[in-house]
Amino acid sequence: MKKTFLLFVTLGILLSGYAQNDTLIITAKDVNTSVLRPGTHRWLVYFQNGNDSGRKSYSIWNRTISFEQYQGKDVIAIRQRWDSYDTITHTVYSVSDRKTFQPYYQESWWKGRGTVKVDMLKKTIDFQGKLLSDEDTARSLKRIWTAFKSSVDQYTLNWHLDLETFPILPYKEGRTFGINFYELASLPAALQYYTVTGSTKLKGYNDTEIDCWTLVHTSPNNKETFFISKKTKEVLKLEQEFNGRYRFKVKLSFSDDH
């Protein structure tokens, strides 16, 4: 009897440890892109310097999802436009595989910085009109090109499409996702860990309560908490704290399309 009891205790400890270490490294077979909804979706983004400070630096992120063909492949195209006050500050055209969501192509423009085109299929980067290569010695260009070469042959997901990536993941309470995120034309691909810490309810229009997963990502002096609808899989809200400051993203429920 004593041996049986000890066996059950040991098994319980092992199972408990397993449950606490449910880490899933995301691969192509783990994503479900069918949950993405075509159309334009918008988030209000703003900052606060502290809990009691006013809101500032407002912008609207417009993100339009469509299913298209690209170089003979079925793809998901996402077009972004970031509006700040009366100015467009950033536009992006991203193309990803329809099934795996792996990035194929991205053309991005930043106000004051110019245009960068990243082609994962042709394995090229056009940086402000210049094709990068091993011959580039300028530190900034060499860093971008080296990061690209180390990332292009891996299964990656586009970190610039995080609001579309989180909906396609297989949620389970206590699970940690290891996502090989690559910010195209920036830092090399690396596993980023996001943990499903539990569930909560957000209150919407007409006092409707929306059941959400809470997904948390931390790095030095930074904590991000995403609220993902269990029903629609959309990211409804982000609360981010970094170096004593705060950033929020709130999904807008209604469109102003005509």
> Over the stretch 10-45, which tens digit does the pLDDT of each residue have?
444 444 444 457 999 999 999 999 999 999 999 999
Which two three-digit tokens encode residue 89? Answer: 């500050």
Rounded Cα distance, 20 and 103, in Å: 32
Residue 60 — very low, low, confident or very high, per pLDDT cuts 50/70/90? very high
Q: Give the pLDDT confidence score for residue 55 in this predicted structure.
A: 86
Rounded Cα distance, 239 and 216, in Å: 10
> Over the stretch 105-129, which tens digit does the pLDDT of each residue have?
999 999 999 999 999 999 999 999 9
Q: What is the mean pLDDT of residues 59-72?
A: 97
Rounded Cα distance, 184 and 250, in Å: 25
Q: What is the mean pLDDT of residues 156-160?
A: 98
Sign of the CA dihedral with 149 first, then 151, 154, and 156 last: negative
Given a cut of 70, whether residue 144 has pLDDT beyond it is yes
Q: Give the pLDDT confidence score for residue 10 in this predicted structure.
A: 44
Domains: count for the chain: 1
Task: Tell me, yes or no, whether 112 lies in a domain.
Answer: yes
Task: Tell me, yes or no, whether 231 lies in a domain.
Answer: yes
Q: Give the pLDDT confidence score for residue 30 in this predicted structure.
A: 98
254/61: higher pLDDT: 61
Beta bridge partners of 70: 73
Task: In the chain, count H helices and then E strands.
Answer: 3, 16
Q: Give the pLDDT confidence score for residue 20 in this predicted structure.
A: 53
Q: Give the pLDDT confidence score for residue 8 in this predicted structure.
A: 42
Task: Tell me, yes or no, whether 257 lies in a domain.
Answer: no
Q: What is the mean pLDDT of residues 51-75?
A: 93
Q: Give the pLDDT confidence score for residue 17 in this predicted structure.
A: 43
Task: Tell me, yes or no, whether 258 lies in a domain.
Answer: no
Task: Tell me, yes or no, whether 256 lies in a domain.
Answer: no
Q: What is the mean pLDDT of residues 86-91?
A: 96
Beta bridge partners of 156: none
Task: Tell me, yes or no, whether 50 lies in a domain.
Answer: yes
Tell me which H or E stretch contains 241.
Answer: strand 235-242
Q: Give the pLDDT confidence score for residue 255 in this predicted structure.
A: 61
Given a cut of 70, whether residue 5 has pLDDT beyond it is no
Beta bridge partners of 23: 176
Place of tokens 């011959």: 135
Given a cut of 90, whether residue 50 has pLDDT beyond it is no
Q: Please tell me the least confidently modeled range out of 39-53, 54-68, 70-84, 174-188.
A: 39-53
Q: Give the pLDDT confidence score for residue 251 in this predicted structure.
A: 97
Parent domain of 94:
2-251
Task: Tell me, yes or no, whether 135 lies in a domain.
Answer: yes
Q: What is the mean pLDDT of residues 159-182?
A: 98
> Over the stretch 237-258, which tens digit does the pLDDT of each residue have?
999 999 999 999 999 987 655 4
Task: Tell me, yes or no, whether 199 lies in a domain.
Answer: yes
The total number of residues written for the chain in this structure = 258
Q: Kindly state the percentage of the chain with pLDDT values over 90.
A: 84
